[in-house]
Amino acid sequence: MSLSFTPPAWLAKVGRRLPCGLVSLHGVAGLELARKLAGLTPPAELNGHAYAITVSDLGLRHVFRCEHGRFRPVFQAGADVSLSLTATLSDFIALGQGTLDADTLFFQRRLMISGDTELGLIVKNWLDASQRPAWLARLFGQA
């Protein structure tokens, strides 16, 4: 079962008004939790680059850096990023669960990628190769 969730339009309006630093802190907290609990270790090629993940239907833009294998928030809303990924919450969850892959989402125009294409391929291959923890499937009723 994949998560099918369409938030109300007003939620995206609220999300777009939230300060970048606040959104980024929460996004980084999730990435760091995944890194520590699930062994989500970013490849060395990601170090020193800034990234943006935009959850389009929630109006949220998480901006972060990868430094020495750890994720760190970026507090400037207009910060330059090396790679930007945009999709809906449901599509990001499906990507994280491994029920859909980045290629499928990209070719269905549900995942937008901009920036450094080589870095994008590294991220895609890393996500495809990452082992998903069992608790992630249970969290969304896939056990």
For 45-76, write each residue's pLDDT tens digit. Answer: 999 999 999 999 999 999 999 999 999 999 88
Predicted local confidence at residue 74, as pLDDT:
94
Is 130 in contact with 41 (CB distance < 8 Å)?
Answer: no
Domain boundaries, the chain: 9-139
Q: How confident is the model at residue 20 (pLDDT cuts 50, 70, 90)?
A: confident
Q: Please state the separation of Cα 94 from the chain's center in Å.
A: 11
Quote the CATH superfamily of domain 9-139.
SCP2 sterol-binding domain (3.30.1050.10)
Q: Is residue 3 very low, low, confident or very high in pLDDT (cuts 50, 70, 90)?
A: low
Output the pLDDT for position 137. Answer: 60
Per DSSP, the three-state class of 59 is coil
- Residue 27 buriedness (CB in 10 A; 0-12 / 13-18 / 19+): buried
- The pLDDT, as a whole number, for residue 141 is 57
| Predicted confidence (pLDDT) at residue 1 exceeds the cutoff of 50 | no
pLDDT band of 135, cuts 50, 70, 90: low
Q: Which pTM value belongs to this model?
A: 0.84
Residue 140 CA: distances (Å) to CA of 33, 38, 61, 96: 17, 16, 23, 11
At 75-109, the pLDDT tens digits run: 887 889 999 999 999 998 888 778 888 899 999 99
Share of the chain above pLDDT 70, in %: 88
Q: Residue 80: what are its φ and ψ, rounded to 5°?
A: -70, 135
Q: What CA–CA distances, in Å, run from 91 to 5, 43, 98, 132?
A: 10, 23, 10, 16
